[in-house]
Structure 1
Amino acid sequence: MILFLDIDGTLIPFGAPAGHPYPAYETAHAPLNPLVTRIDPALGPRLAALGCQLVWATTWMDDANACVAPWLGLPPLPVVEWPDEDEPPALLHWKTRPLVEWAGERPFIWIDDEITEADRAWVATHHHGPALLHRVAHEFGLTPADLGALESWLTTHG
């Protein structure tokens, strides 16, 4: 099982209402990017415990391994290389087709803050294995409730 991970809005929350600053976490690893301190480092062990192949699906590309993986206590992860391609069909996220292609026939989970029903419908039509497209609220990032939803889905499909 593959778990595609976005960073902005998924691991790094943004857009909190005024007057509600994000906590700044600390680890033994000094962050290379100050926004990384918004990521709860406890997410690393929780994600690893899901038993999936973790794959970066983010515009951070290799910076995800330099900045975020050490913060979370994760080893370097594979990175989806985004192809230079035409615009996707209307309403479809630009990541959707490349992630389905990357997964091949393997089951996958995609965690992102920009997933829509159009993406779910396209994946249901074009991917022949189990797939969970889980949308995270960008104001909060990945929460324990989100992780619970992933664990529940993996119990059935993993």
Structure 2
Amino acid sequence: MKPLLLIDIDGPLNPYAALSLPTTPEGYTRHRMRPTGWTTGVPLPVLLSPGHGDELRALAGRYELVWATTWKDEANEWVGPRIGLPPLPYIDWPAMHAVTVDGTYWKTRYVVDYADGRPFAWVDDEITTLDTAWVAAHHPGRALLRRIDPWVGLVRADFEALADWA
């Protein structure tokens, strides 16, 4: 059984921090979206790179790709098609943005529950050393937690690390 590759959107695929820059980063296209959770009058600006889809499809031979994003199933409508990904399974978070008493990221426990002992790699911009330690203590399988800079998104070194780890 292949390991899971759990993919967050905002940060890894959408380097949202770079939206404040005067120009769009090289390789990215600016999109305007209206997912269900976006309730403001102005569409949500999202930066996406088709190159990310190419890289993720290349990793699909080694991993089972899964959305691990607050976009949930809407990732398949708004993001996947724009970067050339087929519909992917997603983690249906039972609760989002909960505060944890131990300082871990709210997704961490749900990610471990979803993996259910399977090896997994997880890319997200909010992973910390607390999450890495919690996963090591509570997940029996191999795990790679890779924090992605929300100013730059996934880069070649991230894809190489994921390929090597698989």
Aligned to 2:48: 39
2:132 alignment partner in structure 1: 120
Aligned partner of 1:146 in structure 2 is: 158
Structure 2 unpaired stretches of 5+: 34-43
SS of aligned partner of 1:81: coil
TM-score, normalised relative to structure 2: 0.81
Which residue of 72, 79, 82 corresponds with 2:90? 79
Check whether the contact 1:12–1:35 (CA below 8 A) recurs between aligned residues.
no
Q: Mean Cα displacement is larger for which, 90-99 or 144-153?
A: 144-153
Q: Which 5+ residue runs of structure 1 have no aligned equivalent?
A: none
Structure 2 residue aligned with 1:7:
9
**Identity, % of aligned positions:** 46
Would you say the 8 A contact 1:136–1:142 is kept in 2? yes
What residue is the counterpart of 2:109 in the other structure?
Answer: 97
Following superposition, the deviation at residue 47 of structure 1 comes to: 0.9
Cα distance in 2 for partners of 1:15, 1:88 equals 24
* SS of alignment partner, residue 54 of structure 1: strand
AA aligned opposite 1:47: L
Aligned-pair distance for 1:94?
0.3
TM-score (normalised: structure 1): 0.85
Deviating above 6 A after TM superposition, structure 1's stretches of 4 or more consecutive aligned residues are none
CA distance in 1, matches of 2:55, 2:49: 11
Q: Which deviations, in whole Å up to 9, do the C-alpha atoms of 1:35-93 show, x marking residues without a partner?
A: 34x21112112112112111111111121000111112111111101113864232100
SS where residue 35 of structure 1 aligns?
strand
Partner SS for 1:4: strand
Structure 2 distance, partners of 1:62, 1:7, is: 12
Residues 32 and 67 of structure 1 are in contact (CA less than 8 Å); yes or no, is this contact kept in structure 2? no
Q: 1:19 to 1:61 in 2, by over 3 A?
A: closer
Contact 1:61 1:80 in 2 (8 A): yes
3-state DSSP of counterpart to 2:45: helix
Higher percent of residues as strand: 2
| 1:35 partner letter | P
